[in-house]
Amino acid sequence: MTTVTTHASSDPSRTMRTPVTTTKKPATQATPSPADCRDLHGASEAGNLEKVKRILSLGVDVNCRWGWWSQTPVMRAAYRGRRDVVELLVSKGADVSLVDEDGDNILHIACIGGDMETVKFVLSLHVVDIDARTKSGMTAADRARLRGHTRVADLLVSRAAQ
């Protein structure tokens, strides 16, 4: 069985996992499990590029959600400033427009982490609204300031962020 991720019509930021039965499947391909999603999150956060590639080759959903905040692997990599993993996940179809339970998008999360190069990469994608607000009303620049990442906040302001 394969899991397909679709956006719920009432809230495009949330995903719904729908099982789909397929008739053909190579005998060597194992069905991804929730543990595989957890492993993808761990490898992404740790910056283990080779392990991320291996897990994705198993057919694990690049946008699978795990943990308290219902984040995706690309969010975990962005938080830890793992730019190479962020780039790989994006190249493999990671949806950078998704938000977590708090309403944080990948830019918010990259700004919390404070890695300038990761923030610049996320901005270069031109997908996320630089002034998007979380459920509590915070912008990415607010998140950066709150964590003491003044250079990151200054970068956002220089790009017309509020």
Model-level pTM? Answer: 0.78
So what's the pLDDT on residue 27? 39
What number is the average pLDDT over the span 22-44?
Answer: 68
CA dihedral 16, 20, 43, 57 (to 10 degrees): -150
Residue 7 has pLDDT above 90, yes or no: no
Residue 33 has pLDDT above 70, yes or no: no
Q: What CATH number did the domain enclosing 94 receive? A: 1.25.40.20
Domain boundaries, position 136: 2-158
So what's the pLDDT on residue 66? 86
What number is the average pLDDT over the span 44-60?
Answer: 96
What are the two backbone dihedrals, phi and then psi, of residue 15, each rounded to the nearest 5 degrees? -115, 155
What number is the average pLDDT over the span 61-83?
Answer: 94
Residue 73 has pLDDT above 90, yes or no: yes
Give the largest Cα separation in the chain, rounded. Answer: 54
Give residues with Cβ within 8 angstroms of 123, minimum separation 6.
107, 130, 155, 159
**Structurally, how many domains does the chain consist of?**
1
Q: What is the per-residue DSSP string for 55-83?
A: HHHTT--TT--BTTTTB-HHHHHHHTT-H
